[in-house]
Structure 1
Amino acid sequence: MSVSRPHTTASSLQRAVHAAEKHQIALYLVAIAAAVAFGLAAPEGAGASLEHAIEPVLAALLFATFLQVPFLDMAASFRDVRFLGAVLGLNFLAGPLVVWGLIQFLGDDQAVLVGVLLVLLTPCIDYVIVFSGLAGGAEDRLVAAAPLLMLLQLVLLPVYLYLFVGSDLADIVEPGPFLHAFIVLIAIPLGLAALTQALSRRFAAAKAVEALMAALMVPLMMGTLFAVVGSQVSDITNRFGDVAGTIPVYVAWFVIMAAVGVGLGRVTSLDRPRSIALVFSGATRNSLVVLPLALALPDAYSLAAVVVVTQTLVELVAMVIFVRVVPVLVRSRRDREPAATALGRQHLGEKGGHDDTGS
């Protein structure tokens, strides 16, 4: 009996992991609902304490995500000029144009405007990889694109702020939070994941780490959602009247960018996994990175941080929907092929087969 117990324990763990993966979307919604309840019921100051958990749990989630990426095949991702070009064009050309159109519907509050610009002009580099992977997107391509996306948004954000608002606000953007986020959320987890993969070929301990982190993917995502939502929801409710007008703008952003991303994927003839990754990259924003920027603004712009957090909450719900909807919107090239073309190819194939046999 004692001999079979480890096997039974392992089997139970495997069943639990499989069940969590099967019902992960429902579990994420539960995590969000629990976070909202906690944020509203917890005593004052509890949300701020929970906020300190966001960075470590997100770093752990990205470490687990990067472990799923085959680093030996990463060279092909860096050479994928078509995908990288589409991602950059979607995020830094099409995206700002959409932002310019959407901000026309905002009021005259400069703090609200700044918050919206900060978050919508900066493409996501962290949990977009997780959600895209859940939808069947090419995670390795997004990992390869992350450093370039981070660098370009750091350089271009002041330019966009200058164009949209003026020089005074463009000067307040500091590179520190961006560099910190890049090191803590991208460079360190990515380096550790690559090292773990290399060691797993020779050491059982590294292999065990890979298996453990794979099993923890769903709990880590739930923890990230809980920390983000639970730490910020009270600020939103306290100032909801001031930021309510941004919600339709954010919803419109996701709808428009999904359509633009799907269209660009078709125009550039990307395959299905890369097209899904492209749509997610164009829609998700770098709210967790720009939040420190918003918090560091002068008191006159204190509302900007609440505006950024509002986008985070809208985005989390949108991502859960995207995981289900985007794979349906992004069809394979064969699925998009007109029926007449398909019949024509079939006819040619039959004709070719007849000629071959006849000869």
Structure 2
Amino acid sequence: MAQSMSLLLVLCLFAFVPLCFSANLYPQFYDHSCPKAQEIVKSVVAEAVAKETRMAASLLRLSFHDCFVQGCDASLFLDSSGTIVSEKRSVPNANSARGFEVIDAIKSALEKECPNTVSCADILAIAARDSTVLAGGPSWEVPLGRRDSTGASLSGSNNNIPAPNNTFQTILTKFKRQGLDLVDLVALSGSHTIGDSRCTSFRQRLYNQSGNGQPDFSLDQSYAAQLRSRCPRSGGDQNLFFLDYVSPTKFDNYYYKNILASKGLLNSDEVLFTKNEASRALVQKYAENNEAFIQQFAKSMLKMTSITPLTGSRGQIRKNCRKVNS
């Protein structure tokens, strides 16, 4: 623990990171109260990803969609009940966010092993790391000690999570609100190296990018023609497409290489290269240097999963991730 805390001091001296004001998060948090916690999470995640490769991307995405709303507090898992309106109903999550049953399975296993001990927020932080590793990406030590919220924010989910058709400046502003910077934006966008996107998320690029009935000509036109074959002007909203068509299940830097080739699927991918010089330079850097991407992704995930956690006596340890303790 002393080594981890000294590393934390170094991070705080040289960079603004959420860890600096979340110093009561540390990797050994459950060493005595639930020593098998991380092993149990890893086992259930591995089983889920073995059944369905896409689940790695789905669990990683849940982490983004939770932390960008009220911080990393598992508010995303709450179902609607009483005064709670679930974030699962928001535009970024409806018919899209998935993997909740995997979180339920992890929680159930942990409640048997060590009741009322491991938070749903910590489960998600560990699962996001393990999903990344299973897809061939980097590992990192996950600081632990988060607690779970007793409320959700539908409006926060609708307003805070970057959308595929947002402008570059809007996306960057949404990141900065969370204490994340342009480097984090470009590195964390690299999570699109795995997983799928729905036709409805990029249709405007194929048919009506600027409201004038014209496609987005910054998208490679042969690639666009392939996309149109399964993403028509109307219908097929839920049809799935690889975010990285070259290596869709492998965590690597082909996401950035695709952007350089004008084959980034989402508008939010393409604008990283076309709308900002500093962002463009980072896309080029990560396209050329997989190791640089991998290292920065781990650093940025540490920052992102430490956004304003509930600690100490704030929040609770939910017995069921879907509902507040009675």
TM-score by length of 1: 0.27
Structure with a larger share of its residues in helix = 1
Larger Rg: 1
Between the two structures, name the one with larger relative contact order (CA 8 Å, sep ≥ 6).
Answer: 1
TM-score by length of 2: 0.29
